[in-house]
Structure 1
Amino acid sequence: MKTSPPSSSIEDYVKVIYSFTEWQDKPITSTQLAQRLGVANSSVSEMVRKLKDQGLVDHKPYSAVTLTGDGVRLALSMVRRHRLIETFLVQELGYRWDEVHDEAELLEHAVSDTFIERMAAKLGNPVRDPHGDPIPAADGSVLMPPAHRMSELDDGHTGRITRISDENPELLRYLAAEQIDLDAEVEVRGRKPFGGPLVVRIGGRGGAREVDLADEVAAALWVHSDAAHAGCSMAGR
């Protein structure tokens, strides 16, 4: 008997669980899952039980929620859909990078696999979305760049901005207004006294300028070090 496809709610849950752990090792808790999805804790508890019954997550009471192999595969397919749609909206339809998330949330559940693969081909099979997040390949492999949060870097560290968190659309609009974008050259100059902002030099020779970045902004920027090697490919994590 043919099994029915997962519901949009299940797809959203596994995608959020994956995205939370994509750039860090710490797993997500039920409370954090509720906050990210904007639902009640009781709703999360019920859905996590359902996900566990379907073999998509591992979870014990009062512990974090982690994806199984099947859960990761489903999450990667949804992440691929979401990020390809975001890329298409920016490159082909002229959306701003702060506008695409909600649109992609709606469209990712509605389009077919054929549509997604033809979109990928049309875009030239991109490996990252407009915010620098890696786009999983059709086979589930992911090219993760070796990058670190700007807020965690030592003074004098140089590199390029390789990822910008898309959690806060207002922050994206602020960065656009300040002309801080992907692939910009950066050098961490140090903090101003008494818990002041992080001072960062942006841009290369001839166009470099110093900017003060609040903690929330610095934590949303990820830097690929000049000394780092190329990212490694991972299948299914």
Structure 2
Amino acid sequence: MTAGASPRSAPDTRFLRAIWTIPELSEHPVTVSRLARSLGHTPGTVSDRIKRLASRGLVEHERYGAVALTPEGKRDALRAVRVHRQLRCVLAELFDYPWPELSDDAEGLEVAVTDRFMTLAAQRLGSPEFDPYGEPIPRLDGTVPALLDGPLMTASTAHARISRVVSASKAVLRTLDGHSLRPGATLQVVSWNPSVGVLRVTGPRGEAELGLAAVRSLRTLREPGVQAAFGAG
């Protein structure tokens, strides 16, 4: 193991990131079934991995209950999230990587890079607080930049500014990129067809039709206490 690199395997790191990230986007508890959907694994595979993480003192989990990070697990998860999102910045800014490919390649690098490398990279980039997908980068002290947003389908107006793109496959990222629907872009909802799961929007490159996976990946800025202007049906 390279000095200063992650002490966890790639699968452990990915699971810890997922356990930390799910509550970032939802108030629902982290369960085996939610982890399975998030990671694309079977519940049995997830359950086995959770048992291994629990045996190492990284998570707490009662059968059929929620999964929670221990203090040591939270420390490792925060590092994993910080490194993963910083690596997206490194690939985008220093290597001009295509936007849809940032996450996959960051995942391949995250267990190999050292803390020293990441510190120098952050300094080189000006210590960004958000990655190219708009996701906040945890600071070294464990705090996370605030971002008041929510799912696109609960936006308070038909005009919305994209804050971040979350849990998106490479295919979804390519679709969004093709329409320039990245963080910071403004879109206008034209219509929602719940029977086929298609949202028509007008964005930077004109009108686009977004499938349910793309719609669910988009989060938009909002003001507290304002009701949704349209619903997912």
Query: Which position in structure 1 is the counterpart of 2:227?
Result: none
Distance 2:152 2:7 in 1: 40
Residues 1:95 and 2:97 are matched in the alignment: yes
Distance 2:42 2:219 in 1: 31
* Equivalent runs, 1:45-60 vs 2, <5 Å: 45-60=47-62
* Equivalent runs, 1:148-159 vs 2, <5 Å: 148-154=150-156, 156-159=157-160
Normalising by structure 2, we get a TM-score of: 0.82
Distance 1:196 1:78 in 2: 34
Query: Which position in structure 1 is the counterpart of 2:21?
Result: 19
More deviation, 103-112/46-55 = 46-55
State the Cα distance separating 1:165 from its structure 2 match. Answer: 2.1
Distance 2:60 2:187 in 1: 40
Distance 1:143 1:58 in 2: 26
* Equivalent runs, 1:47-86 vs 2, <5 Å: 47-86=49-88
Q: Is the 8 A contact 1:198 1:213 kept in 2?
A: yes
Report SS of the residue matched to 1:186. strand
More deviation, 67-76/42-51 = 42-51
Distance 1:159 1:134 in 2: 19
More deviation, 41-50/51-60 = 41-50
Deviations 1:200-223 (A, max 9, x none): 3435xxxx8454433332221111
Q: Which residue identity does 1:145 align to in structure 2? A: L
State the Cα distance separating 1:9 from its structure 2 match. Answer: 3.2
Distance 2:213 2:40 in 1: 21
Distance 2:96 2:197 in 1: 37
State the Cα distance separating 1:111 from its structure 2 match. Answer: 1.1
Q: Which runs of 5+ in 2 are unaligned?
A: 1-5, 225-233
- 2:218 is aligned, of 207, 218, 221, to 221
Q: Is the 8 A contact 1:59 1:65 kept in 2?
A: yes
Report SS of the residue matched to 1:91. helix
More deviation, 88-97/49-58 = 49-58
Q: Is the 8 A contact 2:180 2:203 kept in 1?
A: no
Q: Which runs of 5+ in 1 are unaligned?
A: 229-237
Query: Which position in structure 2 is the counterpart of 1:174?
Result: 175
Q: Which residue identity does 2:121 align to in structure 1? A: M
More deviation, 144-153/187-196 = 187-196
Change (3 A) 1:193 1:75: closer
State the Cα distance separating 1:116 from its structure 2 match. Answer: 0.8
Q: Is the 8 A contact 2:168 2:213 kept in 1?
A: no
Query: Percent identity among equivalent residues?
Result: 33
Report SS of the residue matched to 2:100. coil
Distance 2:116 2:19 in 1: 25
Deviations 1:83-140 (A, max 9, x none): 1111111111111121122211121101111111111111110111111111111211
State the Cα distance separating 1:50 from its structure 2 match. Answer: 2.7
Distance 2:16 2:69 in 1: 7
Distance 1:194 1:77 in 2: 42
Structural RMSD (CA): 2.7
Change (3 A) 1:94 1:143: same
Change (3 A) 1:223 1:56: same
Normalising by structure 1, we get a TM-score of: 0.80
Distance 1:223 1:38 in 2: 25
Change (3 A) 1:62 1:110: same
